Amino acid sequence: MNYRRTRAVARKEFLHIVRDPRSLIMALAVPLVMLLLFGYALSLDVDRIPTLVYDADQSPQSRELIERFRGSRFFEISASVGEYRTIEASIDRNQCLLALVVPRHYGRKLLSGNEAEVQLLIDGSDSNTASITLGYAEALLQTYAFELRSAALDRGGGGALDASIEPRLRVWYNSELKSKNYIVPGLIAVILMIIASLLTSLTIAREWEAGTMEQLLSTPLRSAELVLGKMVAFFVIGLIDMLVAVGVGVLIFRVPLRGNPIFLLFTGCIFLFGALCWGILLSAMARSQLQAYQMGMLTSFLPAFLLSGFVYAIENMPAIIQVVTYIVPARYFVTIVKGIFLKGIGIEVLWGEVALLLGYAGTVFLLATRKLKQKLA
From CA 270, how far away is CA 257, in angstroms rounded? 20
| Alpha-carbon Rg for the chain in angstroms | 29
Decide: 230 and 311 in contact? Cβ < 8 Å: no
Cα 17 to Cα 27, 51, 282: the distances in Å are 10, 54, 20
Report pLDDT for 165. 47
* DSSP string across 196-251: HHHHHTTHHHHHHHHT-HHHHHTS---HHHHHHHHHHHHHHHHHHHHHHHHHHHHH
Q: Residues 57-65: contacts with CB within 8 Å, 24+ apart?
A: 57/102, 57/103, 57/104, 57/105, 57/106, 57/107, 59/106, 59/107, 59/108, 60/107, 61/106, 61/107, 61/110, 61/111, 61/116, 62/102, 62/106, 62/107, 65/100, 65/102, 65/106, 65/118, 65/144
Cα dihedral sign for 275, 276, 278, 282? positive
- From first to last of its 377 residues, the chain has per-residue pLDDT tens of 677 777 777 787 777 777 777 777 777 777 788 788 877 777 666 778 889 999 988 888 889 889 988 888 888 888 888 888 888 888 888 888 899 998 888 888 888 777 888 888 988 877 777 888 888 888 888 888 888 777 766 666 555 444 444 556 666 777 766 778 888 888 888 888 877 777 777 777 777 676 666 666 667 777 777 778 878 888 888 888 889 889 888 888 888 889 999 999 999 999 999 988 888 888 778 767 777 778 877 888 788 888 888 877 788 788 898 899 998 898 999 999 989 998 888 899 999 999 999 999 999 999 988 887 765 55
Residue type, 248: V
Report pLDDT for 6. 79
Report pLDDT for 171. 66
From CA 305, how far away is CA 291, in angstroms rounded? 21
Burial class of 94 by CB neighbour count within 10 A (0 to 12, 13 to 18, 19+): exposed
Report pLDDT for 163. 45
List the beta bridge partners of residue 122: 98
Report pLDDT for 167. 54
Does residue 97 sit in helix, strand or coil? coil
Q: In which element (H, E) is residue 348 found?
A: helix 347-376
List the beta bridge partners of residue 76: 50
Cα dihedral sign for 37, 38, 40, 42? positive
- Packed helices 203-210 and 223-251: angle between N→C axes, nearest 10 degrees: 130
Please give the backbone phi and psi of residue 297, each rounded to the nearest 5 degrees, phi first. Answer: -65, -40
Residue type, 351: W
Q: Which domains occur in the chain, in start order?
A: 3-43+178-376 (no CATH), 49-155 (3.40.1710.10)
Report pLDDT for 169. 60
Residue type, 216: L
Please give the backbone phi and psi of residue 116, each rounded to the nearest 5 degrees, phi first. Answer: -110, 130
Report pLDDT for 161. 47
From CA 242, how far away is CA 276, in angstroms rounded? 13
Report pLDDT for 164. 44
List the beta bridge partners of residue 4: none
